[in-house]
Amino acid sequence: MEIWNFPACSFFSDHHTHTIMPSLLSGRILHFPKLSATSSSESYSSKQVKFPKKISQNSATSVRPADSGSPLRKTHKLNLEVSPHRAVSAVRLMRIEFGGAFADLLNEQGKGSGDNEMGYVERTLGFRTRDLDDRDLRLVTEVVGGTIRWRRYLDHLILSLCHDERTFRSMEPLLVQILRIGFYEITKLDMPPYAVVDESVRLAKVALRPGAGNLVNGILRKLAVLKESDSLPAVEVDGDDRQQARGLATLYSHPVWMVRRWTKYFGQDTAIKLMTWNNSYPSFSLRANTGKGLTGADLVSRLKMLKVPHEPSLYLDDFVRLKTGMQNVIQAGLLKEGFCAVQDESAGLVVSIVDPQPGENIIDCCAAPGGKTLFMASRLNGQGKLFAVDINEGRLRILRETAKLHQVIDVISTIHSDLRTFSTDKVVEWDKVLLDAPCSGLGVLSKRADLRWNRRLEDMEQLKHLQDELLDSASRLVKPGGVLIYSTCSIDPEENEERIEAFLLRHPEFYIDPVNKYVPENFVTNRGFYMSNPVKHELDGAFAARLHESPDRLLSQVGHSKPYMQQFSLQAIIIRYSNH
């Protein structure tokens, strides 16, 4: 399941209002427009970035020849004193926080592409460092992900060690990123403080100015002393509910509204466990591509050859879990050649609930980027048809290319359309309809480190309205006696159980089909829904409900006998369209 992204947040700001744009329905995790204006009450995190131009003189200079008829290009400098992983990490963090880039996509693109990374450093800072090796790239992934996850706590420490709050608020964005990286490496990675201080000071002096390096030197040295004496600035978690929520939000580095919401629904102990899970290094799952006739055993064999640590899934035969080694999998070409796909087991269990059978006609209503689409197609064994609807034509093109790679394109047809329009224009009805709905993505915060900062409480109301609209639209595509599956990658009850309860009130012709026939019992709720809980199952959070439509929905209205029911269903829909 994809997540819909909201604008980058400032550290202390928890309240902004945004509008969902109809053109953004291509993803299943919503992308809200980015903030461009700031107020005096916002932190530096929301300010526009002004990249520095000053470069250190301790650099080797190379001049690129100018193109014929074009202005002379600027001089680019190679600095061998600056740590490459530190420069790349700082620029990545700038791109994520201010440029709308996503941490997981940057990590994916960065693996094995040091030239691309250094190109961003050069364009942002005005100089290059030495090339990155594999160890550097792995360290960049760890540092960027960890710094984003722990951002609120790191900022608390930085603010505590500054002379005054004004010093903290007036820092350039790049300087803040340099400090965050240093604080993360010292407090969370236990790197040697002297090395962190030295490298951070060099980057600040080269990329900004000597005074910035002096400031970094003083603050990081103070941190090192406090860390050594085990006397880091404490976080107060006492007081009333609001004060406790703010303290926990800082201590575990989450937005205050999330802490309060999870405490309300799950209790404080579970809320703390959820935040601890979100701050842990994520594990990943690979699915063997059965569309090519491969099995989980084949995947295990390849992983053993690559010496990648792995363990079989506890729940799905063709899935394998990885804690480390994903870079080796990518570099070995397993993904590019379609041998396997990255897919969490929680998503695979949703496909188990759909239960695709050869010969069925199935529609995936918000299909891109297509993880569930491809898995469902592989289970059709070349028989039946799978329609993938999405509003983003570019993402559908990628889905088709991946389907060819996975050798399941023969059963997949893509439809470029807004589901809400498509459902009123078409007369075809499907055996099974999957709505993997746009959601907040609160179940995948471990893998998507930046998501927690790109959410607002008020956005949840807009998402719920959208989910209701899409559920109503998807229900129109289900044939009499067919199945509607609603799923999210959220753990929020208001996006999950409450949406289904509201839908059933509007559509009494549907009823709940308990999922215990399709997934292990420990994933089944009291109402018969599927719920993957990160704390309980050590998987991404996910939800699914399987709903049957009564085969007598039209008979009850017109009194036709069953042999004519499907024909009347199509005629009724055509009449309804003509009335519009």
Q: Is 418 annotated as a binding residue?
A: yes
pLDDT of residue 402: 95
Secondary structure string (H, E, C) spanning 97-131 = HHHCCCHHHHHHHHCCCHHHHHHHHHHHHCEECCC
Average pLDDT over residues 94-107: 73
Give the whole-angstrom CA distance, residue 36 versus residue 267.
Answer: 36
- Which of 47, 44, 56, 48 is closest to 207 using CA atoms? 56
Cβ count near 5 (within 10 Å): 22
| Element of type H or E holding 396 | helix 393-405
Catalytic residue of the set 9, 162, 365, 489 = 489
Is the confidence at residue 271, as pLDDT, over 70?
Answer: yes
Give the whole-angstrom CA distance, residue 234 versus residue 219.
Answer: 17
pLDDT of residue 428: 79
pLDDT tens across 191-207, in order?
Answer: 999 999 999 999 999 99
pLDDT of residue 327: 85
pLDDT of residue 261: 97
Q: Do 451 and 423 touch, CB atoms closer than 8 A?
A: no
Please list the residues that pair with 362 across neighbouring strands: 386, 432
Give the whole-angstrom CA distance, residue 433 versus residue 373.
Answer: 12
**Pairwise pLDDT comparison (302 vs 19), residue with the higher score:** 302
The CATH 3.40.50.150 portion of the chain extends over 345-577
What mean pLDDT value characterizes the chain? 84
The superfamily (CATH) of domain 345-577 is Vaccinia Virus protein VP39 (3.40.50.150)
pLDDT of residue 134: 85
pLDDT tens across 462-507, in order?
Answer: 999 999 999 999 999 999 999 999 999 999 999 999 999 999 999 9
pTM (2 decimals)? 0.82
pLDDT tens across 1-20, in order?
Answer: 444 443 333 333 333 333 33
Q: Is 369 annotated as a binding residue?
A: yes
Give the whole-angstrom CA distance, residue 541 versus residue 4.
Answer: 15
pLDDT of residue 116: 78
Is the confidence at residue 133, as pLDDT, over 60?
Answer: yes
Is the confidence at residue 25, as pLDDT, over 50?
Answer: no
- Which of 305, 287, 327 is closest to 141 using CA atoms? 327
Confidence class for position 165, pLDDT limits 50, 70, 90? confident
Q: Do 320 and 286 touch, CB atoms closer than 8 A?
A: yes
Q: Is 436 annotated as a binding residue?
A: yes
Tell me the residue type at 182: G
Give the whole-angstrom CA distance, residue 531 versus residue 487.
Answer: 10
Which two three-digit tokens encode residue 54?
């000053």
pLDDT tens across 218-230, in order?
Answer: 999 999 999 999 9
Confidence class for position 173, pLDDT limits 50, 70, 90? very high
Q: Is 267 annotated as a binding residue?
A: no
Average pLDDT over residues 414-423: 94
- Which of 114, 142, 130, 124 is closest to 82 using CA atoms? 130
The CATH 1.10.940.10 portion of the chain extends over 35-228
Lowest-confidence pick of 72-81, 96-105, 113-122, 282-291 = 72-81
Is the confidence at residue 426, as pLDDT, over 80?
Answer: no
pLDDT of residue 163: 78
Q: Is 371 annotated as a binding residue?
A: yes
pLDDT of residue 76: 59
pLDDT tens across 356-395, in order?
Answer: 999 999 999 999 889 999 999 999 999 999 999 999 999 9
Q: b vs e for 351-369, b when ≥16 Cβ sit within 10 Å of the residue's Cβ?
A: bbbbbbeeebbbbbbbbbb
Q: Which CATH architecture has domain 35-228?
A: Orthogonal Bundle (1.10)
pLDDT tens across 34-61, in order?
Answer: 333 333 333 333 333 334 343 333 444 4
pLDDT of residue 206: 95
Give the whole-angstrom CA distance, residue 120 versus residue 126.
Answer: 9
Average pLDDT over residues 130-151: 93
Confidence class for position 68, pLDDT limits 50, 70, 90? very low
Q: Is 368 annotated as a binding residue?
A: yes
Q: Do 87 and 137 touch, CB atoms closer than 8 A?
A: no
Share of the chain above pLDDT 90, in %: 70
Backbone dihedral region for residue 283 (phi beyond 0: left; psi -120 to 50: alpha; all else: beta): beta
Q: Is 341 annotated as a binding residue?
A: no
Does residue 489 have an active-site annotation?
A: yes
The CATH number corresponding to 284-342 among 1.10.287.1080, 3.90.340.10, 3.30.200.20, 3.30.70.1170 equals: 3.30.70.1170
pLDDT tens across 504-547, in order?
Answer: 999 999 999 999 999 999 999 999 999 999 999 999 999 999 99
- Which of 195, 196, 82, 93 is closest to 141 using CA atoms? 93
Q: Do 11 and 43 touch, CB atoms closer than 8 A?
A: yes
Share of the chain above pLDDT 70, in %: 79
pLDDT of residue 118: 86
Is the confidence at residue 86, as pLDDT, over 70?
Answer: yes
Is the confidence at residue 141, as pLDDT, over 70?
Answer: yes
